[in-house]
């Protein structure tokens, strides 16, 4: 339906605001940005899980709580176009702005969330009693399909070197606490922090999966 009030400033949201209220307009953009990012990042996790071809194993519970921060020096106006999330999730500009490790629009998200996403994929493989070597192959393949420069994740990317040394290739990975993955320094956090290529790979997968959602046959 056509918006008959489009272009009429006297009927716009801002027209009835006082000077003090106009100073708070950026909060409207931030609220829209947070709503979009929460939905987009949840969708990314779901698409990764589906791409892993293990969606039927989601009988166990796991909770990811992204911790968003507001940063200065970056306008939040990009989020004002987000009036309907279902439509906004198809907007390349908003997908770029919400990219987890390269966010813009005045919102940022720490590497801990990316670590928790990867540990979630690993836990799903552990739930299926997959061998650690097979789990690594599946996760690496998932990202290689999305970015040609994907970095190979290995056992020590996820767990300590001492534990990795005793883990046989035919054994599953240990269960990883997602609470600790989001609140503490982990081997994966150290790996991601020092590896820009892996960060770019994670971001490339995000953009690819949101632009072209995965299809899975179970």
The answer to whether residue 8 is domain-embedded is: no
Q: What is the pLDDT of residue 101?
A: 85
- Closest to 105 (Cα-Cα) out of 174, 19, 36: 36
The answer to whether residue 152 is domain-embedded is: yes
Q: Read off the pTM.
A: 0.74
Provide CB contacts within 8 A for 41, sequence distance 6+.
66, 98, 100, 109, 113
Number of domains present in the structure of the chain: 1
Domain that holds residue 196: 19-210
Q: What is the pLDDT of residue 14?
A: 55
**What are the Cα distances from residue 23, in Å, to 26, 28, 79, 104, 150?**
7, 11, 17, 21, 44
Percentage above 70 pLDDT, the chain: 76
Q: Is 69 helix (H, G, I), strand (E, B) or coil?
A: strand
Q: What is the pLDDT of residue 205?
A: 87
Q: What is the pLDDT of residue 49?
A: 66
Q: What is the pLDDT of residue 147?
A: 77
The residue ranges of the chain whose pLDDT is under 50 are 1-2, 4-5, 8, 10-11, 13, 54-58, 60, 214-218
The answer to whether residue 23 is domain-embedded is: yes
The answer to whether residue 181 is domain-embedded is: yes
For the segment 111-146, what is each residue's pLDDT rounded down to a tens digit? 898 999 999 999 989 988 999 999 999 999 888 887
Q: How far is CA 120 from the centre of its chain?
A: 12
Q: What is the pLDDT of residue 8?
A: 46
Q: What is the pLDDT of residue 217?
A: 41
How far is the C-alpha of 117 from the C-alpha of 110, rounded, in Å? 12
The answer to whether residue 1 is domain-embedded is: no
The answer to whether residue 206 is domain-embedded is: yes
Q: What is the pLDDT of residue 134?
A: 95
Q: What is the pLDDT of residue 55?
A: 45
Q: What is the pLDDT of residue 80?
A: 76
Structure-block tokens of residue 12:
């716009």
The answer to whether residue 99 is domain-embedded is: yes
The answer to whether residue 141 is domain-embedded is: yes
């Amino acid at each position: 339906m056509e918006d008959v009030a489009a272009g009429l400033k006297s009927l716009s949201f801002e027209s009835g605001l006082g000077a003090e209220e106009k100073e708070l307009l950026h909060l409207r953009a931030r609220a829209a940005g947070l709503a979009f990012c929460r939905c987009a990042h949840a969708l990314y996790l779901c698409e990764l899980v589906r791409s892993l071809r293990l969606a039927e194993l989601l009988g166990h519970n796991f909770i990811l709580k992204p911790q968003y921060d507001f940063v200065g020096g970056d306008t939040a106006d990009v989020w004002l176009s987000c009036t309907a999330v279902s439509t906004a999730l198809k907007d390349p500009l908003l997908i770029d702005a919400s990219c987890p490790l390269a966010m813009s629009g005045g919102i940022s998200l720490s590497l801990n969330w990316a670590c928790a996403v990867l540990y979630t994929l690993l836990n799903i493989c552990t739930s299926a009693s997959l061998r650690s070597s097979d789990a690594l192959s599946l996760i690496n393949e998932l990202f290689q399909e999305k970015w040609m420069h994907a970095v190979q994740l290995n056992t020590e990317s996820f767990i300590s070197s001492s534990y990795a040394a005793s883990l046989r290739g035919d054994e599953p990975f240990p269960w990883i606490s997602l609470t600790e993955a989001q609140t503490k320094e982990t081997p994966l956090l150290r790996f991601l922090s020092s590896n820009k290529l892996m960060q770019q790979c994670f971001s490339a997968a995000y953009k690819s999966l949101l632009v072209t959602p995965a299809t899975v046959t179970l």
